[in-house]
Amino acid sequence: MISVCGVSKRYGSAQILNDVSLDIPDGSLTALLGPSGSGKTSLLRIIAGLEEPDAGTVVLSGENVTAVAPQRRNIGFVFQHYAAFKHMTVRDNVAFGLTIRKRPRREIDARVNELLGIVGLAGYSHRYPNQLSGGQRQRMALARALAVDPKVLLLDEPFGALDAKVREDLRGWLRRLHENVHVTTVLVTHDQEEAMDVAGHIALMNAGRIEQFGTPREVYEAPATEFVLRFLGPVAEFCGRLVRPHDLRVTRDHTPGAIAARVTRISHLGFEVRIELSAGDAAPITAQVTRGEARHLEVNPGDEVWVSAEDVAASIRLVG
């Protein structure tokens, strides 16, 4: 387990982390998710020992490592821009940690070959990093981090520098890798879709604090704060509450709790249909329905309809 307790960090006058506590279960894949400047990368670097916290402790597998150098934390770290050793071949990159540990050559060769097979770079061992694509470099960096059998694998925006297609491939690939290797993994990302897709747990961070920690379903379906609700997807304002546009129900007939509204505009966006509504003096409402629902509803601009919110757990009451 990774236990972060009361960690604070400031750079000059900027408070990057403010009394952060977090328990990451063994064997899980956890995403630190938040906008840039939320402190997620700093938290990851503090777990790795690459930064020192001003206050608080970091415990890895029961051992307080707050004052332990990164060399002795038994971690694997993957950087956004790969941090490939440019003057070494792929083989030497992956073997680096084992060479430092002075393992016998035969053992190193076997381990490197095994890992290159796992990351799909079996034929590339004599290439140099500049002969690889971005995705290949990042897989090499992953193999390099895994070579030393780390207790914890830390990934800092690992797919951030890659284009969308490669990113999606690597995401699925990382998920399968984690299913096979089972090393406790922490992934920093600002992409909510990536976090929801890959991670078993998500810690949502904002302004140096953790807003909520839970499974993707928990944070999506029962957001603890307005920030969480807004960060994970589009929101609509409805009767003093923030709700998901797809949780708004538009009907021809009156239902309990519904309010009357007039359709102002309908946009067909492929599988979803967006209905813009105005209800009296309130701010315009945007509801999102499926194509099937829209066809069933058969509304046109100018029609009078009833709108109600479906899933109250996933909404947040607006203050003031």
3-state secondary structure 307-318: EEECCHHHCEEC
Q: Are 138 and 147 in contact (CB under 8 A)?
A: no
Stretch binding another protein (CB under 8 A), from 57-65, 94-102, 172-180, 239-247: 94-102
Residue nearer to another protein on the CB measure, 48 or 299: 48
Residue nearer to another protein on the CB measure, 69 or 319: 69
**Contact with another protein (CB under 8 A) among 13, 87, 281, 298:** 87
Maximum C-alpha span of the chain: 78
Residue/partner pairs of 270-277 with CB below 8 Å, 24 or more apart: 272/246, 274/245, 275/250, 275/299, 277/250, 277/305, 277/307
Task: Please state whether 18 falls in left (phi above 0), alpha (psi between -120 and 50) or beta.
Answer: beta
Question: What CA–CA distance (Å, rounded) separates 22 from 4?
Answer: 5
- Smallest gap from residue 250 Cβ to another protein (A): 51
DSSP state of 245: G
Cβ neighbour number for residue 176 with a 10 Å cutoff? 9
Stretch binding another protein (CB under 8 A), from 20-28, 81-89, 201-209, 284-292: 81-89
Helix, strand or coil, per DSSP, at residue 110: helix
Question: What CA–CA distance (Å, rounded) separates 130 from 227?
Answer: 41
Amino acid at the residue 228: V
- Smallest gap from residue 69 Cβ to another protein (A): 7
Q: Are 80 and 157 in contact (CB under 8 A)?
A: yes
Q: Are 93 and 85 in contact (CB under 8 A)?
A: yes
Task: Please state whether 269 falls in left (phi above 0), alpha (psi between -120 and 50) or beta.
Answer: beta
Question: According to the binding rule CB under 8 A, does residue 105 interact with another protein?
Answer: no
Question: According to the binding rule CB under 8 A, does residue 86 interact with another protein?
Answer: yes
- Smallest gap from residue 244 Cβ to another protein (A): 39
Residue nearer to another protein on the CB measure, 128 or 306: 128
**Contact with another protein (CB under 8 A) among 1, 148, 166, 222:** 148
| Contacts of another protein in 115-134 (CB under 8 A) | 128, 130
Question: According to the binding rule CB under 8 A, does residue 50 interact with another protein?
Answer: yes
Stretch binding another protein (CB under 8 A), from 68-76, 185-193, 258-266, 292-300: 68-76
Question: According to the binding rule CB under 8 A, does residue 70 interact with another protein?
Answer: yes
**How many chain residues bind another protein (CB under 8 A)?**
28
Stretch binding another protein (CB under 8 A), from 93-101, 116-124, 205-213, 305-313: 93-101
Residue nearer to another protein on the CB measure, 87 or 165: 87
**Contact with another protein (CB under 8 A) among 12, 13, 67, 71:** 71
* Positions in the binding site for another protein (CB under 8 A): 48-50, 69-73, 75-77, 79, 81, 83-87, 96-97, 100-101, 128, 130, 141, 144-145, 148
